[in-house]
Structures are given as structure tokens and as C-alpha cells.
Amino acid sequence: MAQSMAGILPCSLRTRAPTQIRASRKNQITTRRATHVLCAADGEEFDPRTFRRNLVRSEKYNRRVSGDESAVNEMKDQGIWTTNDGGLISQLKETGYRATIGDMELTLAKSYGFCWGVERAVQMAFEARKEYPEEQMYITNEIIHNPTVNKKLEEMEVAFIEADGEGGKDFSKVKEGEVVILPAFGASVQEMQLLDKRGVQIVDTTCPWVSKVWNAVDAHKRKSFTTVIHGKYAHEETIATASFADKYIIVKNLDELAVVREYIMNGGDKQAFLQKFSKAVSEGFDPDVDLVAV
């Protein structure tokens, strides 16, 4: 029987909107074993930064590329590695992104292919499957927004965490000792804590540039600033970033930013504002108070 994570945490961690996680009662979070990261005690404020720093030092956590050449070669064989040595893409990059083959002229966009963070994440997933060939392996979301790559992970028997039908994810099938990959977009700190308590091996492929944003959000929090996050409130990268914030508002585009700016400068209808951003603000958000320092 699945239940909300907010009802099973033994400490003061709050699941802020829009994050929702579900876990089975059988594997519900109770007390922490010494091998896991310590959680804040009752009555103490949960500190995502401290938790993550401790998690990084855990033996059941990895965020480094091993450099397994066999994994890279498999990516190349699958056409996933965008900079194949000696391949056409590599040649084009070496010749100023232009080449002539017979009577055909080719031009390559400079931004073609995967960025460094994405290629790193995919490589780590391939390496993880080779390191844990027999273990049940999950990933919390699409590793990147590329159907070919995600299909390949399915063929490698990497299972995707399923939605629970209520806007969250169902982690009830994940068991101690199994392997869970966090995608390039990252995962919420609530998901990290659940997986840590479950005793799984975490392979964190989060792009370092994404986690750098988390550090900036944490700095805002410690200075009592409200964070303005640009993104879609339901996107996994936005959810992950918001989970490290205290007070935040998420704006999708310039039009929404203009609404926020207008309220900061001239005030407005508070209820209408909160209705517009009902799914894009932290719990208890008060624009009259929380937009004073951004």
C-alpha cells in the first residue's frame, strides 16, 4: 500500500510542492542505521546541503566517471557517443564545421550533439550497468530527453521509476542493495533521502552545472533571500532545484517574470497572484513578504 513520503519521515523534512514521493508501508522510513546519512532529529530543521555533503561521502554513493573504455566503446557502437574518434562528426569539427564530400557540402552546427554534462551522464549509466551486471537497476526519470538513449537503457534492463497516478513516483519496488541512477537533471533531496534510507547504491549522474545551481539556491536560503527559478514547475530539474530552496517562485517565461516584477514594484491582488502561481511557489509563500528580498 503506497503512502505519501510526507507522512513517513522521522524528522522535520518537509516535501514542498511540487515534489511528491511515495513509498511502501513495508519499507517505510523509520530509524537510521549507522551506515546511512544522519537526518535531523525531531524539532530540528533539515539542512539539504549538509545531508547531500554527507551522502556524497557514503560508500553507497557514486558521482564519478570511472573511464571504463568498454562502456565508451559500447556507446560508440550504439551511435550515442557524439564525438567518435575519426568519425564524420569529428572530422567536421576539425575542419571548421564544414566539409566537402564529392559534390556535396556538409555544414555542422557548432552546438550539435550532447553537451558535456549529458554525455557524462550517459557514460556513467553505461559504466554502472557494467559494474553491476546482475543487480536490479532503476533510474528515477529519463536520463536525458532523448528517446534513443532512454530506449537503450531499457534494453539494458534499467527500469524507470513509475508514476503513482497522483503526480508523484512510486518507489515501493526499490529494495535494499539494488542500484538507482539519478538522471542528468538531478533528483530532489527528498528522493535522495528516501533512497539513502532504503540502502540502495546511488549512481548520481547529475550534471555538475545543475548542482552548481543548487549551491547558489542554498546561498540564497542562508541569506534569507527568495529564489526565482526559471523553468517549468513540473520539470524534474526544476523540482530538484526547488527542493534545495526555502522560499522560491518558479517563472516559466518573460510574461510570468513581468507579473512578478510588477508585484514587486507596485503590489497587486495577492490572491490572484497566488492563484496564478499556485503550483510554482514554496509552501506558505506570501508575495507581500517573500518578494521583498529576491
Query: 26 is written with which cell numbers?
Result: 513495508
Annotated catalytic, 237? yes
User: 144-159 in b/e burial notation, b at 16+ Cβ within 10 A?
Assistant: beeeebbebbeeeebe
Q: What amino acid is encoded at 130 in this protein?
A: K
Query: 238 is written with which cell numbers?
Result: 526544476
Helix (H) or strand (E) holding 273: helix 270-276
Output the DSSP codes for 92-130. Answer: HHHTTTEEEETTEEEE--TT-S--HHHHHHHHHHHHHHH
The β-bridge relationship of strands 137-139 and 158-160 is parallel
| DSSP state at residue 282 | -
Q: CA-to-CA distance for 171 and 4, rounded, in angstroms? A: 11
First to last CA, the chain: 41
From the list 35, 16, 8, the residue with the least C-alpha distance to 194 is: 8
63-71: long-range pairs with CB below 8 Å, 24+: 63/203, 63/204, 63/205, 63/206, 65/120, 65/123, 65/124, 65/127, 66/127, 66/131, 68/126, 68/127, 68/130, 68/131, 70/130, 71/123, 71/126, 71/127, 71/130
Of the residues 162, 237, 256, 283, only one is catalytic, namely 237
User: Active-site positions?
Assistant: 237
